[in-house]
Structure formats: C-alpha cells, structure tokens
Amino acid sequence: MGRLSVSLCGIELENPVIPASGTFGYGYEFADFYDINCLGTFSFKGTTLAERIGNPLPRIAETEAGMLNAVGLQNPGVEKVIAEELPKLARCFHKPVIANVSGFSVAEYTEVCRRLGEQEQVGWLEVNISCPNVHGGGMSFGTDPHAAATVTRAVKAVTKKPVIMKLTPNVTEIVSIARACEEAGADAVSLINTIKGMRIDLKTRQPVLANITGGLSGPAIFPVALGMVWQVSQAVKIPVIGIGGVASAEDVIEMMLAGAAAVEIGAANLVNPFACRNIIENLPAVMDRLQINTLRDITGGAHG
C-alpha cells in the first residue's frame, strides 16, 4: 500500500482521486491526453435503460465561480454502453470502473444495475438518485428517505457489486436520506450532486438555459459539499465519497478530513482535462507540507 492508497468498499485504490460521472465521458476520451490508469478509478457517464438525447439547447451556462448544466442524462442506453463503450474503455483503462446508473422507475434502476453489474470491468454501481435536470426521475427518488431506501433495496437484490447511492443536496436534511440508504443495504454514499439554480440573459430577459433551471457545480459549491460530507460521515458507518467543487490537492485533503474516504472531481475536468492527473501529482508534496504520512489515516480527521 502506498501513501496515497485508500480502500473503497473493500476494493483498493492507488489514490482517492475519482473523476465524477458526466465530466469524464467513458474515459477513453481523456486517454488521448494522459494515461488515465493513474486515477484511483472514475465514474463513467450516467446510463439509463434506453437512449436519451438529453435536454434542448442551450444546456450549459457559465457562472461566476462554476457552471450550470441541464444536459439531461444524454447517453446511448445500457445496451450500447455494454456493447460499444466498455470495450473501448477496456483498451485504455485496466482497473475496476464505477458505473453510474440513472432511472425513471425502480424497475429501470434495477434492470440497468443488473446488466452493468454483470460486467467484469464494473467494480461499483453508483446509483444516481440526485439529478436535478430531468423531469419525473433521478432527484424525485433522492428527496424522500422511503423512496431512496426502496431503490437501494431493489438494486442490492440484483447485484453482488458494491452499491454507492449518489445523494442530492436539494433537500432540507440530507442525513435522513443517507441513513435510509445505509439501513436498506447501501455499501457507500456519494455526495453532493449539483445544486439547482438558474441564470437570466439580461438582453433577452429570458432564462439562459432552455430547461430554465440547471445544476450548479464548481468551486461555488465546495463549502456546501464539505458541510454535507461532514454531517453524513458522522451519521453513517459506510464510506462517504465527497463530491462538489474539488479542484486541488488541498481540496481533496480537506474533503477527507471532513469524512470522505475518496473524492470525486467534476467541473474541474471541464476547465482543464489534466485536472485529476495534476491533483494526483501534487498530493505527495501537499501531504509533506501538512505532515500527513498516509491518506487513508486522515478520513474524518477534523472530527476530533
């Protein structure tokens, strides 16, 4: 085990750095820039049962300290992901990968998880019950503890792979959702997804996004994400993956001190395709400066 190594649901990672779903494609797109095997792992693009073309354009907008997106889970559907995307990925990434799953019903979540869970490359299933950019799915399951538990229980019944429930920050109280997922059998939780927001074009006096609202990501949400990771990690015994505005090695360490076992990095990949590689390279020097010997020892270190 190296200084940077951590364990996620019993699977060893060389480091805790994980590109977040929706910001890293299916991995091979970034393999043209650098050897992506330096990553701990990554979460590939959210997959639904059937192909989705996503929301109408425009669906991306920049903000002062981040971005809004309302992509709407555009993806080719689970059959094409298995038949076409995973074989391409296998040629350039030789570690277990996180399969991110979205759905519009419990039955859809279950079927997609069953199919992806059968793939040898898939190490974990990250079940997205937190997407704010689609109507009638995603976040509607993540705002109620009973619904979140129902999805968790159904998915756990069809796979032996570790199940990570991805939680939304767009709730009054996230701890009850996390506890419900844990009690229903979740192996880990990841948080947060984006925060619902919007922008208005002053010239047209109309919303910038065709969907009107979208999910805010980037540095603006880091303090919110950090606070929720702190809360949830103290309330559950399963691992927490911290997500939200992480852009540096220092941010990774801060997330881990708040209680994260591993850290996903999202919007930073869209600003700089080398973001995750650079963070991994910078971690040892930052650890030396902060007198940290091994990363696996600091999870929850700020809790006292």
Domain ranges of the chain: 6-53+70-196+216-303
Taking CA atoms, 89 is separated from 85, 100, 118, 226, in Å, by 6, 15, 16, 31
CA dist., res. 112 & res. 158, Å (int): 10
| Nearest residue to 125 (alpha-carbon basis) of 255, 257, 271, 11 | 11
| Nearest residue to 14 (alpha-carbon basis) of 27, 1, 30 | 1
Three-state DSSP at 12 gives strand
Q: Find the catalytic residue in 9, 113, 131, 181.
A: 131
pTM of the predicted structure, to 2 decimals: 0.96
Taking CA atoms, 150 is separated from 14, 44, 115, 141, 181, in Å, by 33, 24, 19, 9, 9
Q: pLDDT grade, residue 304 (50/70/90)?
A: confident
- Residue 181 appears among annotated catalytic residues: no
Q: What topology is assigned to 6-53+70-196+216-303 in CATH?
A: TIM Barrel (3.20.20)
pLDDT, average across residues 78-90: 98
Please say whether the beta carbons of 157 and 107 come within 8 A.
no
CA dist., res. 119 & res. 86, Å (int): 9
Find all residues with CB under 8 Å of 204, minimum gap 6, and list them: none
As a whole-number percent, the residues of the chain with pLDDT over 90 amount to 93
pLDDT value of residue 235: 98
Peptide bond into 98 cis (omega under 30): no
pLDDT value of residue 1: 74
Q: Residue 136 pLDDT > 90, yes or no?
A: no
